[in-house]
Amino acid sequence: MPVSKLTPQEIVDSIGELPPMPTAISDVINACDDQDMTVGQLSQIVLKDQSLTANILKLANSAFYGHARRVTTVTEAVVLLGFSAIKSLAISSHTARLLNRSLPGYGLPAGQLWHQSMCVAFTARRIAVEVQLAPVEEAFVAGLLHDIGKVILSSHLEAAFNEVQQLAMDRQMPFHHIEAEILGFDHAELGARIAAKWSFPPELEEAIRCHHDPEQATLKPLLPHVVHLADSACMMLGQGIGSDGLAYEVCPSTLEALEFTPERMMELMDDIAPMLAADSFGIE
């Protein structure tokens, strides 16, 4: 198979190719964390960047937030959604540029990873509310970034895509197991390193690293279970399957940890299915 394992240094070098957080988005994130920040002050910081303003308004009007009336100003968005949600939407605005790419190494056309990541983010937030895992926006961000490692790995898998896909099918193994076998690591591990590069909390790094194996988490054990369940539910509904959906199953430990019966899982999927179909998350 024409794929060689990368060294840890090569992994770090690959992560270095990713753009840093733009100043406008960093300013919004820092403002959201400032306990003395007012709604008016935060709104003014957001308004300094036209693209960020447009993206926050588009996402604030997503079916997932379910507001009866349309949100037309940043101030309305801040009041209705809260600082934590605005922070999540700012992060979403930045990652859209990365996740919107086509990923031939995973058989994903342009935009599909972005849509699937947003679906998982909103579903993870929905589950976090249900199981009372606070803060719920942490689940949103973990869901959003859970597959960001694929952005780096796609180019390394592209040359051997057909062989890797066939191997996963022949062995009936999840795609991330094949990644680890041929590369020495998987997209979840690399995604956690990207989260560290962007200075996200260790709990979020762990949630990304363990979203396929949530029982391995120790820092905030329920968070990766929430992301794993959200990812599984979205895949079952046909969102962003690609080659990574081959042989993908829900971990029994996740259903147990979150106290989700098969019936409760079906109720979740029934709830989110219309919203997944309705939204394109078309932000710039």
- 249 found inside a domain: yes
- 183 found inside a domain: yes
Amino acid at residue number 16: G
- 241 found inside a domain: yes
Into how many domains does the chain fold? Answer: 1
- 154 found inside a domain: yes
Supply the CATH number for residue 162's domain.
1.10.3210.10
Predicted TM-score (pTM) of the model is: 0.87
Would you give the end-to-end CA distance of the chain in angstroms? 37
pLDDT of residue 246: 46
DSSP codes joined into one string, 173-231: --HHHHHHHHHSS-HHHHHHHHHHHTT--HHHHHHHHTSSSGGG--SSTHHHHHHHHHH
Do the Cβ atoms of 114 and 99 come closer than 8 Å?
yes
- 180 found inside a domain: yes
pLDDT of residue 275: 74
- 223 found inside a domain: yes
- Closest C-alpha to 169, from 248, 66, 251, 60: 248
Token pair for residue 220? 């905030």
Number of other CB atoms surrounding residue 240 within 10 Å: 24
- 27 found inside a domain: no
**pLDDT tens digit at each of 284 positions of the chain:** 445 566 655 766 766 667 777 888 999 999 999 999 999 999 999 999 888 898 888 878 877 777 778 899 999 999 988 999 899 989 988 888 889 999 988 888 998 899 889 889 999 999 999 999 999 999 999 999 999 999 888 877 777 677 777 777 787 777 788 888 777 788 899 899 888 888 899 999 999 999 999 999 999 999 999 999 999 998 888 775 555 554 567 899 999 999 999 899 899 989 888 877 765 565 55
Q: How many CA atoms lie within 13 A of 70 on its CB side?
A: 3
β-partners of residue 103 are 108
- 135 found inside a domain: yes
What lies within 8 Å, CB to CB, of 111 at 6+ separation is: 100
**Range of the structural domain that residue 182 is part of:** 8-21+100-278
